[in-house]
């Protein structure tokens, strides 16, 4: 008798009570990191995905309460985080929490292709016994995150009480988060609200796209305001009501104004202005000055878990951000 291959549980998902019928391959693609549709479908065909204990086909439609388990032949990666002596820019700290100003280029937590050198590796070196949210193994202290090449403020929980309080505030959308973004072009309306669902692109799972069909994707709301009109680009203030992956980057592209030098969303080429070689050379130099998407998490406000008082933190724009704004400002003044 052939010995059955041992399988290890990697993911377990339980459908919400309000879950609408949705193909399981698409359902898993929306919720699992670093997977393609082909990979999901093959895994379903190979019997690695079970719903309520039973194997299903890729066209199976999930229902409320479905218990979905993804099992694979190899064991999940050890979630133990290796402490690393990486300096942290701490702008506030007490016994309950801390607020850090993350520099661009630092990944927030260990994940595929980035198992070391992250903010979490640094946190576990400087702080012992940080709490971990349920289902968030390997990410002690984290209640939210920002992208690798986005700079700015993050709040870190130091106690279970603080984590639960902050997590509920994020869930209730009561946290005040302000971002500054440099985008291509100038919005027609000086301020407004983008209320369009977001979901992962079927062509590239690393990309978030706007989905006008409200029955798909997840609701996402961004409030924006024009701060500076620099003719070819503009400085925009964005306030998040929800916190979806790449929300500002995807919403601003949907509005027709991708972030300056955002390679993932098409902002790393000339999108506004002339095609003259002199102008192109200027833009290339601006790209070199800020070799990342122009996005900074500028301020953060929330109810303190212990004192129950509202506290708010603000941060300066990083040097590369200030330099690229100054460069554009000089260009439109003296061209």
Among residues 147, 149, 262, 320, which one is catalytic? 147
Q: Are 306 and 164 in contact (CB under 8 A)?
A: no
Long-range contacts, stretch 23-29, CB < 8 angstroms, 24+ apart: 23/58, 23/59, 23/60, 23/61, 23/62, 24/49, 24/51, 24/56, 24/58, 24/59, 24/60, 24/61, 24/62, 24/68, 25/58, 25/59, 27/62, 27/68, 28/68, 28/70, 29/200, 29/202, 29/205
DSSP state, residue 293: -
Beta bridge partners of 22: 62
217: three-class secondary structure by DSSP: coil
Both tokens of 17, joined, read 């009570």
Numbers of helices and strands, H then E, in the chain: 7, 17
| Separation CA 153–CA 315 (nearest Å) | 7
| Separation CA 273–CA 279 (nearest Å) | 8
| Separation CA 133–CA 16 (nearest Å) | 19
Both tokens of 183, joined, read 């985008």
| Separation CA 315–CA 101 (nearest Å) | 8
Q: What angle do CA 48, 54, 58 make, to 5 degrees?
A: 60
Report the 10 Å Cβ neighbour count for 319: 10
Q: Are 260 and 324 in contact (CB under 8 A)?
A: yes
Phi, psi (deg, nearest 5) at residue 24: -65, -30
Q: Are 312 and 301 in contact (CB under 8 A)?
A: yes
Pairing of strands 8-14, 67-72: antiparallel
- Asked if 147 is an active-site residue, the reply is yes
Active-site positions?
Answer: 147
């Amino acid at each position: 008798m052939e010995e059955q291959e041992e399988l290890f549980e990697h993911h377990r998902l339980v459908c919400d009570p309000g879950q609408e019928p949705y193909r399981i391959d698409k359902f898993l693609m929306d919720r699992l990191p670093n997977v393609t549709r082909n990979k999901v479908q093959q895994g379903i065909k190979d019997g690695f995905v079970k719903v309520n204990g039973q194997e299903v086909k890729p066209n199976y439609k999930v229902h409320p309460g479905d218990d979905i388990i993804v099992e694979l032949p190899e064991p999940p990666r050890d979630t133990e985080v290796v402490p690393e002596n990486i300096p942290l820019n701490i702008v506030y700290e007490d016994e309950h929490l801390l607020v850090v100003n993350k520099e661009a280029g630092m990944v927030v937590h260990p994940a595929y292709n980035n198992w070391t050198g992250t903010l979490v590796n640094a946190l576990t070196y400087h702080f012992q016994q940080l709490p971990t949210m349920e289902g968030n193994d390997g990410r002690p202290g984290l209640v939210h995150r920002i992208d690798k090449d986005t700079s700015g403020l993050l709040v870190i929980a130091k106690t279970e009480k603080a984590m639960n309080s902050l997590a509920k505030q994020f869930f209730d959308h009561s946290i005040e988060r302000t971002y500054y973004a440099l985008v291509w072009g100038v919005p027609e309306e000086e301020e407004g609200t983008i209320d369009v669902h977001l979901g992962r692109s079927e062509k590239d799972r690393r990309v978030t796209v706007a989905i006008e069909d409200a029955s798909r994707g997840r609701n996402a709301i961004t409030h924006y305001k024009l701060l500076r009109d620099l003719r070819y680009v503009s400085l925009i203030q964005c306030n998040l009501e929800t916190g979806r992956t790449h929300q500002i980057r995807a919403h601003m592209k949907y509005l027709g104004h991708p972030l300056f030098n955002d390679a993932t969303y098409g902002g790393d080429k000339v999108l506004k202005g002339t095609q003259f070689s002199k102008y192109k050379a200027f833009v290339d130099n601006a790209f070199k000055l800020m070799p990342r998407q122009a996005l900074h998490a500028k301020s953060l406000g929330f109810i303190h878990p212990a004192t129950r008082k509202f506290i708010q933190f603000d941060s300066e724009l990083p040097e590369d951000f200030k330099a690229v704004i100054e460069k554009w400002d000089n260009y439109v003044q003296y061209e």
